[in-house]
Amino acid sequence: MLHIIKLAVGPKDVDALERGQALRARGPEGLRHVTRMTPRRAPEILEGGSIYWVVAGVLRVRQRILAIEPVKRADGTGATALILQPGLVHVRPRPVKAFQGWRYLEAHAAPPDLAEGEAAVEGIEELPPAMRRALLDLGLL
């Protein structure tokens, strides 16, 4: 099994990512992420792989990739749609440096899921966002 890691461009937090996806899921095309490049290792991804979303510089959540389909953009150029399972699964957060496009993420390197209601670190949500980010950047969370 293989995963993809992708920066969530636009959302400032996981709640904003969830709201945006909820709007897109109601559209005629359903919940999908369109990307320019087609994963060459698609068969491995379709064996249970997920897209891991980096939100505000921190890998925070994932969601299953159900299918990978060729599509055409509005201008007629080819692209690839990653068909996503609705709902985000929180994972143990870790900082990620910015990159363009998406990257493969081997299963052994993927962060573990957090149990329902489990915080990454006890009391982390009470910390100011800037302090949480600084602690994550230092590798202390």
Mapping DSSP onto H, E and C, the string for 38-56 reads CCCCHHHHCCCCEEEEEEC
Res 127: pLDDT: 78
DSSP 76: S
The token pair at 110 is 């993927």
Q: Which domain holds residue 116?
A: 2-137
Q: What mean pLDDT, rounded, does the chain reach?
A: 88
- CB of 133 within 8 A of CB of 57? yes
> How many distinct helices (H) and strands (E) make up the chain?
3, 7
Q: How many domains does the chain have?
A: 1
The predicted-structure confidence for 51-106, as pLDDT tens digits, reads as follows 999 998 889 999 999 999 999 998 999 999 999 999 999 999 888 998 998 999 99
Cα torsion angle, 106, 92, 59, 83, sign: positive
Euclidean distance between CA atoms 67 and 57, whole angstroms: 26
- CB of 115 within 8 A of CB of 67? no
Read off the pLDDT band of 27 (50, 70, 90): confident
